[in-house]
Amino acid sequence: MALYLIGDIQGCDDALQRMLEKVSFSPSRDTLYLLGDLVNRGQGSLAVLRRLKGLGASAHCLLGNHDLHLLAVAHGVRPAHQHDTLDGILQADDRDGLLAWLRQQRLAILDKLQGEEILMVHAGVLPAWTATKTIALAHEVETLLRGPDLIDFLHQMYGGTPVAWDDSLRGADRVRVIVNALTRLRFCTPEGHMEFKHSGGADTAPPGYVPWFDAPGRRTADVTVAFGHWSRLGWLEHPHLLALDTGCVWGGCLSAIRLDDSVPNRPHHLIQVKCSTP
């Protein structure tokens, strides 16, 4: 059995297919963990959702900001953006089933894989959150996504404030901070105040901010965190840190790691396929 973590696909189904062929993926034997932004900007978003839905329990998918955007557009909460490539999904005969499946996906996963505890998120984790707290807060949002008040949730999740977590937060403010941290975060202050305007590399942090994973005292520093979202950061493997968005949709690569405890001191094997999207 092989376990794979895969970065942002963003509708690049051709690259995903070639990745699965390259690793000889078998849904009866192997398991995928997709780190969010399954759809949008690439030309195969419909095919990606159909493929992943069809894999059943062998594919564990996180929701990224583009996936939440799809739900908002589909339910009339937000207009489509000029560069969205979501029409194939929105006009598909199986649209309702695909959207229902998407609503069942996670915002964070904490699992022990090949002997290594890994916390998986799309974007980031605030420095004050432990891995256990991250999962609990993600579950709050997942419950809203799957419940009868979806439209209210989709309206509430947009906006850049509050910029920091507080345990006393309630209602829309609480939901918004959780969603923003898990699906949009790149930079924050050492105290955990988020910033969303800058999207450059780790060395482009605005004054007073650091990449979220460099925040001193971050309470998830003792667990491996795997994430996507940050294409300008690219592939990054530090102790307890795996960044897997390598800009597939922007002409880069689709990246995956195979988790393997059979090779001492080298448990992560990087696998990449070049994306054909210009």
Report the half-sphere exposure of 263 (CA within 13 A, side-chain side).
7
227 closest CA partner among 272, 249, 257, 194: 257
User: For position 115, what pLDDT does the model report?
Assistant: 87
Cβ pair 257, 4 in contact under 8 A: yes
The tens digit of pLDDT for each residue in 138-191 reads: 999 999 999 999 999 999 999 999 999 999 999 999 999 999 999 999 999 999
User: For position 204, what pLDDT does the model report?
Assistant: 95
pTM here?
0.96
pLDDT band at 268 (very low <50, low <70, confident <90, very high): confident
Rounded-to-integer distance, Cα 44 and Cα 92, Å: 13
User: For position 114, what pLDDT does the model report?
Assistant: 87
User: For position 262, what pLDDT does the model report?
Assistant: 53
Read off the tokens for 151.
């439209």
Read off the tokens for 24.
């000889």
For the residues of 60-103, what is the DSSP string, one character each? EEB--HHHHHHHHHHTTSSPPPTT---HHHHT-TTHHHHHHHHH
CATH superfamily of 3-274: Metallo-dependent phosphatases (3.60.21.10)
The tens digit of pLDDT for each residue in 60-102 reads: 999 999 999 999 999 999 999 999 999 999 999 999 999 999 9
Q: Read off φ and ψ for residue 171, nearest 5 degrees.
A: 60, -140
Rounded-to-integer distance, Cα 62 and Cα 41, Å: 18
